[in-house]
Amino acid sequence: MNYPRQTAQAIRDWLEFAPEKVLFATDAYPFSEEMYWEEAGWVAAQSGREALGLALTGMLRDGEITRERAVELARMVLRDNARTLYKLSQP
């Protein structure tokens, strides 16, 4: 339940160091009687995607990556790295 801006810096650090090891995940569990795992998962997914977008935008603005590389990194984090790790079929 971190703010996307906080998380974006950590994601950026990981992407600069070892982008092939960064996986997208959420900790979806019931926080309270008012927030069950479904809501927690939705909030975490939204925040995580926003944080990834902020990290990639920062890297683009700083001239570290191209737009094409940003798209590639996003796909790696959101899908391809998990497929590789778990040896899942590629489309």
Q: What is the pLDDT of residues 20-51, one digit of tens each?
A: 999 998 777 777 777 787 888 888 899 999 99
Q: What percent of the chain has pLDDT over 70?
A: 95
What is the rounded average pLDDT of the residues 61-85? Answer: 97
Single-letter code of the amino acid located at 76: M
Output the pLDDT for position 11: 96
How many whole angstroms separate alpha carbon 74 and alpha carbon 54? 11
pLDDT at 55: 98
Round to the nearest angstrom and report the end-to-end CA distance of the chain.
32
pTM of structure: 0.86
pLDDT at 88 over 80: yes
pLDDT band at 91 (very low <50, low <70, confident <90, very high): low
